[in-house]
Amino acid sequence: MAETRCALVVGGRGFLGGFMVAALRRRGWRVRVLARPQGRRMDADEVPGDLTRMLAEDDWAQALDGVSVVVNAAGILREEGRQTFVDVHERAPLALAHACAARAIRFVQVSALGHPEDGGFIASKHRFDAALLAMPIEAIVLRPSVVYSLRGSYGGTSLLRALAAFPWRMLLPGDGHWTFQPLCAEDLGEVVAVACERGPRGVYAVGCEHPLALRDYQSNWRRWLQIPGHGAWRMPLLLVRAQVALGQWLGRGPVNRTIWNMLLRGNRTEAGAHQRVRDTFGVRVRALDEVLQSEPSQMQDRWAAQLYFLAPWLKWSVVLVWLGSGVVGLVTPASGIEAMAQGSALAGLSPVLLARATALLDIGLGLGLALARRPRGVVLAMLICALAYLLAFGVAKPALLLDPLGGLLKNVVLIPALALLWVLADRR
C-alpha cells in the first residue's frame, strides 16, 4: 500500500468514525479527519471544518488537497440549532461529492439501514445516497443495521446495554420480538476500509447473516456482562411510547421517534446482502454471539452499563437538593438566620444578606445543571461551593457539624457524589 494515499474521513471523531479511521490506518492509509475547531487546538491529523457552513463545492478545496478517497460518516439523529438534516445529510455532502467528482476522488458514504417513512434522519440520508449514485463518481453507499462494539457504546446501544444489565432481570420493551441484524463497529470499519480501495458502485446493506430478536440481543449482552438473574421485566408499550414522545419533545435522550419506528418495522437487510458484502469486500460480518465470545467482559463494562440509569438519577437528585436549599435560604425568616449565626464569626458578616445571596447562587446552579447540555462547568462550581460551605460554616460555627440531622455534615458525602457526576457528565 502506497504510503502517500490519503483518506479524508468526515465524522471521524464520532463513535463509529473512530473505528473507520483505525481500520484505514491498519491498511496503511494516511488519514485526515474533518473536525470542528470549537475553540480548541487542532490535532496534526485534523482539518478544520463545519458541515453547517461547507455548503458550496469551493468550501471543500482545502480539505481535499492530496486526498484520494473520502469517507462520509457524519450524521445527526435529531436536529439542533444550526445542525439540520438538510445541511448535514444533504447539502454539505452534496457539495463535497461535487468537489470529489471534479477531482476524481472515490467516495464512500456511510448511510443507514431503514425506510424513509421512519423519519427525517433516514429520509435525508437516502435522498443523498440517490443523488450521489446519480453523479459521475466512483461511489459506494453502505447502509449498516444497528452497530455495537465491545470497546464501548454510544446513544441507543448504550441504552440497550443498560437495559440488559438491569438488576435482577433485564428490562425489555414489550415482548422484544422486533428483529434486526446487528454488526460490530470493528467489522463495519473493515468494510469501509476495503470499500475505499475496491468494489463496484452501488448500495450495500450491512448486517450479520441472520436476524436477531431484541430479547435475544439483550440476553446475549447480559450473559457477556456476567450480570446475575434471568428473565425480563416487560415494560408496557404504552409507557415506552410515552417515553419516546417525551424524548422527541425534549430533543434529548438516545431514542427518538425515528429510532422507535425503525425498531417497530424491523431493521433487516434484504436476502443475500450478507453474502454480497462478503463477496465484494472480503469481510465476513460476524454474528453477535461470535463477537461476544471473542473477548471477555471486564468490570469497566459492567460499570458503564449499570451506571447508565444511575447517572441521571444522581444528576436530578443534585438539582433537587440545590433548588431546595436555595428555596429554604430565601424563605427562612431573618430572625431565624440571625439566631443561628449568633455567637459565631458569621454574626459580623451580615448573615441574612449572606444567606439570601447563597440561596440565589444555589438556585442558579440548580437551574444551570438542569438546563445545561454540557454541565461540567456547573458541576465544578457546585463542587467548589459544597467544599466552601463545609469549610467556612464548619470553621465559623463548629456546632453545625454536630447537627443531629447532619445538615452540614452531609456535604462530606455530597462532595464525592459531585465529583462522580463531573466524570459522568461526559458520557454519551
Residues 399 and 172: their CA atoms lie apart, in Å, by: 50
Cβ-based neighbour number of residue 349 at 10 Å: 12
Residue 411 maps to a domain: yes
Instruction: Tell me if residue 314 falls in helix, strand or coil.
Output: helix
Tell me, what DSSP letter sits at residue 89? I
Is residue 305 a part of any domain in this protein? Answer: no
Residue 406: predicted pLDDT: 63
Nearest to 11 by CA among 97, 123, 110: 110
Q: What is the pLDDT along the chain (428 residues), one digit of tens a residue?
A: 445 699 999 999 999 999 999 999 999 999 999 988 876 777 888 899 999 999 999 999 999 999 999 999 999 988 888 889 999 999 999 999 999 999 999 999 999 999 999 899 999 999 999 999 999 999 999 999 999 999 888 888 888 999 999 999 999 988 889 999 999 999 999 999 999 999 999 999 999 999 999 999 999 999 999 999 888 999 888 888 888 888 777 777 777 788 888 888 889 999 999 999 999 999 999 999 999 999 999 999 999 999 999 998 999 999 999 999 899 989 989 888 777 777 676 666 787 888 889 899 999 999 999 998 889 999 999 999 999 888 877 776 776 666 666 677 788 889 999 999 999 887 66
Instruction: Provide the residue type at 257 as one letter.
Output: R
Residues 75 and 97 reside in one and the same domain:
yes
Any domain includes 45:
yes
Co-location of 288 and 321 in the same domain: no
Reading the block at residue 14, the C-alpha cell is 464520532
Q: Looking at 297, 320, 347, which one is the last position of a domain?
A: 297
Q: What is the CATH number of the domain that holds 282?
A: 3.40.50.720
Single residue among 297, 331, 350 that ends a domain in this structure:
297
Residues 234 and 320 in one domain: no
Residues 6+ apart with CB under 8 A from 290: none
Same domain as 331, residue 290? no
Q: Is residue 370 assigned to a domain?
A: yes
Q: Is residue 163 part of a domain?
A: yes
Q: Of 297, 323, 354, at which residue does a domain stop?
A: 297
Distance (Å, whole) CA 76 – CA 52: 12
Say whether both 137 and 185 belong to one domain.
yes
Report how many domains make up the chain: 2
Residue 404: the pLDDT is 66
Please tell me whether residue 202 adopts helix, strand or coil conformation: strand
Amino acid identity of residue 209, one-letter, is: E
* Amino acid sitting at position 316: W
Q: Report if residue 302 sits inside a domain.
A: no
DSSP β-bridge partners for residue 152: 149
Q: Which structural domain range is residue 325 located in?
A: 310-424
Distance CA 377, CA 128 (A): 38
Residues whose CB falls within 8 Å of the CB of residue 364, separated by 6 or more in sequence, listed in order: 326
Q: Do 261 and 112 lie in a common domain?
A: yes
Q: Are 164 and 218 in contact (CB under 8 A)?
A: yes
Instruction: Report d(CA 365, CA 379) in Å as an integer.
Output: 8
Residue appearing with cell numbers 473477548: 295
* Side chain identity at residue 419, one-letter code: A
| 119 and 215 assigned to the same domain | yes
252/357 same-domain check: no
Amino acid identity for residue 363 in this structure = I
Closest CA to 196 of 65, 12, 23, 45: 23
pLDDT for residue 3: 53
Q: Check whether residue 335 and residue 370 sit in a common domain.
A: yes
Q: Do 333 and 187 belong together in one domain?
A: no
Q: Cell triple for residue 99?
A: 468537489
Residue 51 contacts residue 8 (beta carbons within 8 Å):
no
Residue-wise pLDDT tens digits, 146-168: 999 998 888 888 889 999 999 99
Q: Mind listing the pLDDT tens digit for each residue in 101-151?
A: 999 999 999 999 999 998 999 999 999 999 999 999 999 999 999 999 998
Do the domain assignments include residue 303? Answer: no
Phi-psi region of 39 (alpha: psi -120 to 50; beta: other; left: phi over 0): left
pLDDT at 345: 66
The answer to the question of residue 395 being in a domain is yes
Q: Are residues 133 and 188 in the same domain?
A: yes
| Same domain for 324 and 272 | no
